[in-house]
Chain A
Amino acid sequence: MSTIVFIDTRGEKLPKAAQEAVTYASKLAGGPVTAVTFGGAAGLESLGAQGAGKVIVARDVTAVDGQQLTKLVLDVASKEGANTIVCVHDGTGKAVAPRLAAKLKAAHVAGAIGMPEGDKFKRNVFSGKAQAWLQVTSPNKVISLMPNSIPVGKDGGSASVEDYHGDLGPVRITVKEVRKAGGGVPLPEAELVVSAGRGMKGPENWGMVEELAKELGAATACSRPVADMHWRPHHEHVGQTGVAIRPNLYIAIGISGAIQHLAGVNQSKVICVINNDPEAPFFKAADYGIVGDAFQVLPQLIEAAKKLNAER
């Protein structure tokens, strides 16, 4: 039996999370895998570098309708004789992977964070406060990979690309409107994140946060109160009720570090905390800390980042 990987490639560029999922699937299979996708960004053949032998793309599908996408993936899985399906643990994966698992009577590993040991898969539980090993006992498996969990493979060649022409049935979820706020690095994929909270005192002071992020090539994020007060857009909110992220670097400015905020960022590899309150609970979860006023610290960080960029 073989492994296939399902990815969302609707944007202009191939998402890093998709490249990670292809890498993961190819490592699991120990060789080239077939990738199935929709939308169809430019450069699908380059997924060969991550271990895709073939990419099958449904170009006419432009929105996430779980039933259509489930049909697409099951059709490809059946043609390929696959019993293992790898997805990305993002909005698209969350709409499709559980359906695939229910249909195939398969175990669904929701949010795998690394390669398995035998049939045991590691995933975060209790909002990142612990990890669990899920023992899979079914012959069929659906594995959703958490973004930023494994390095992107670079060793393979070029993949062949085929268009999908099957009938996916009726659209039952109609998109009426899309509201997107600008481009930039999608937060769940960002390797570096600069985040700020109420300590910034008002939305008019975000220029410095954005400038530091720009110098570092980082995405910007914020705490819940900041999103609730509409200082920043809702999609920037990281934490238990917002987006959960696992970047290499998380810089938190003027965020106290309530348990609900930590739940969304505690998987970051390096955490820096800048807060004028030395008792802020966030310092206990930090690797580096600065007790000081954001308005005094941020200009120094921006200057140092500019200097570093000039040297590189």
Chain B
Amino acid sequence: MVRTFAARTSVPVKILVLLSQVPDTTARIAFTDGNTKFDANGVTFIVNPYDEWYALVRALELKEAAGAGSVTTITVGGADTEATIRKGLAIGADEAVRVDVQPTEALQVAEQIAAYAKDKGFDLIMAGKETIDHNGGQVGGMVAELLDLPYVALASKLDVASGKATIERDVPGGVEVVEVALPMVLSAAKGMAEQRIPNMRGIMAARTKPLTVVPPAATDHVAHTASFELPPAKGAVKMIPADDAGKLIELLHTEAKVI
């Protein structure tokens, strides 16, 4: 898909993209230690798709359109996240930051990110709409509050010009176009950009781009996941012959009692 840009941004934009590591979309979901830990055995980890496809790629497009600016990624996690972080650099981020602590809960992660970002002068802080493991969609809004910045959730389109962001956000049954002065925080949903596959040059360059490890700040402990459970297995599907399809409506009424 080709994107067009009405005008080049006059001022370079400094962007921070929140980047999480998550199990691959198709990973088998299982738990260990009495259902208290995710079973990572044999699981491939990836950049959270909303962070990568939408937030990071749109950030890079904005930088390219302006011909200036910078894109930094930040990840809260142990050394095991570095391969994932390098993927973000291979796609095109200029530099990466890793806050060296295991993520346990949304507020802890948000406080770590806010502590790093507070005096760096970012114009835009972009998160994915949620991670595909914890599905919270919380960190962007929390960072915004901690930094006293506006926050637009579920943005599906973003343009930046003259120090202002023009954003489309998904609302029930449609979209709303909103305008916000920078600096601000947003969460990116489908529609914002197309996926980019890193090329060999990007992958080579990623090896030497800066990945700075910073020590964690003191944070609040407000919650933790006590245990996981898997949904009960589905019973066998009841098949209805195609030439007697009307029977389905009858069963939904008399047996399933949903209509």
Contact = CB atoms under 8 A, between A and B. Distances in A.
A85 B137 CA distance: 18
Contact of A91 (B111, B146, B169, B222): B169
B255 to A, nearest CB: 9
Contacts of B107: 101-102, 105-108
A91 B172 contact: yes
Contacts of B141: 66, 94-99, 102
A293 B178 CA distance: 44
Interface core residue of A91, A96, A291 (most chain B CB under 10 Å): A91
Nearest to B244: A300
A172 B247 CA distance: 55
A127 B31 CA distance: 15
Interface stretch (A35-43, A44-52, A175-183, A196-204): A175-183
A174 B178 contact: yes
A149 interface: no
Contact of B176 (A101, A109, A177, A289): A177
Interface in A56-100: 63, 65-67, 70, 90-91, 94-100
A134 B230 contact: no
Contact of B242 (A174, A188, A192, A297): A297
A137 B221 CA distance: 8
Given A97-B141, A135-B223, A270-B256, A287 B228 contact: no
Interface in A159-176: 172-176
B152 interface: yes
Given A94-B137, A177-B176, A249-B258, A131 B242 contact: no
B174 to A, nearest CB: 4
Which bracket fits the contact residues of B? 35 or more
A129 interface: yes
B138 A98 contact: yes
Nearest to A234: B191
Contact of B180 (A103, A129, A173, A308): A173
B227 A240 contact: no
A117 B189 CA distance: 33
- Most A-side CB within 10 Å, residue of B154, B226, B230: B226
B244 to A, nearest CB: 8
Nearest to B105: A107
A304 B225 contact: no
Interface residues of A, number: 96
Interface string B154-186: 101000000000100111111111111100000
A180 B173 contact: yes
B259 A249 contact: yes
Contacts of A110: 106, 135-138
B222 A304 contact: no
A84 B115 CA distance: 26
B29 interface: yes
A272 interface: yes
Contact of A132 (B26, B227, B242): B227
B142 A308 contact: no
A66 B150 contact: yes
B171 A91 contact: yes
Interface stretch (B76-84, B202-210, B233-241): B233-241
Contacts of A99: 141-142, 144-145, 151
B3 interface: no
Given A241-B49, A304-B245, 17 more contacts: A94-B154, A125-B228, A126-B29, A127-B135, A173-B179, A179-B176, A234-B191, A241-B189, A259-B25, A263-B132, A286-B237, A287-B237, A288-B240, A288-B256, A297-B242, A303-B246, A305-B249
Interface of A: 63, 65-67, 70, 90-91, 94-103, 105-111, 120, 123-138, 172-184, 186-188, 192, 216, 234-235, 237, 240-242, 248-249, 259-260, 263, 266, 269-270, 272-274, 283-293, 296-297, 300-301, 303-305, 307-308
